Amino acid sequence: MYRKLLVVTVALVLALSVAPAQAQKADATISIDVQTAAAGLGASWGRGVVTYGPKTYAFKVRGLNVLTAGIQKLVANGQVFNLKAIDDLEGKYQKADQAGITFIKKEDIGLVVKNDNGVVLNLKAVKKGLELDLVSEGLTILKVK
């Protein structure tokens, strides 16, 4: 009897101590303006701004692509997670496994990318119906200032 009660009590304590995954608050917001050389070729470059704390920083970007024929200009907005210092934003981003990132809501996902510093960008195209993707080299953020 006591053993059964102990097992139930332990199971109940464990169940209550495991909190459901909560939406993590973004560390910064980001906006990227990209020009594409030709639809389907994947050559793209652009600029962006990130608001981190009380400051806004400008940067250059290359490698974001739009999977909609005829689009040569794109604006994507989003959230930045795991940003500990502004310099960590720079680097090469690759697609992140969305299943392993519990702080991004499904309805907010357009393209989720992560760099070697652990910084995660959750980007959405401003124009509805556009699907974002990466060229084979990934998305690279350069020269944050």
* Per-residue pLDDT, 1: 56
pLDDT tens digits in sequence order for the chain, 145 residues long: 545 444 334 344 333 333 333 457 899 999 998 877 655 555 678 899 999 999 999 999 988 776 655 566 778 899 999 999 999 999 999 888 765 565 666 556 688 899 999 999 999 888 766 677 776 667 889 988 8
Within-domain flag for 80: yes
* Per-residue pLDDT, 105: 61
* Per-residue pLDDT, 68: 56
Within-domain flag for 9: no
Expressed as residue numbers, the domain containing 87 is 21-142
Residue 72 token pair: 């040569």
* Per-residue pLDDT, 24: 79
Within-domain flag for 15: no
Give the number of domains in the chain: 1
* Per-residue pLDDT, 21: 38
Within-domain flag for 83: yes
Query: Where are the alpha helices (H) located in the chain, listed in sequence order?
Result: 2-17
Within-domain flag for 7: no
Within-domain flag for 125: yes
Between the two ends of the chain, the Cα-to-Cα distance in Å is 67
Of 28, 145, 126, 90, nearest to 111 (Cα)? 126
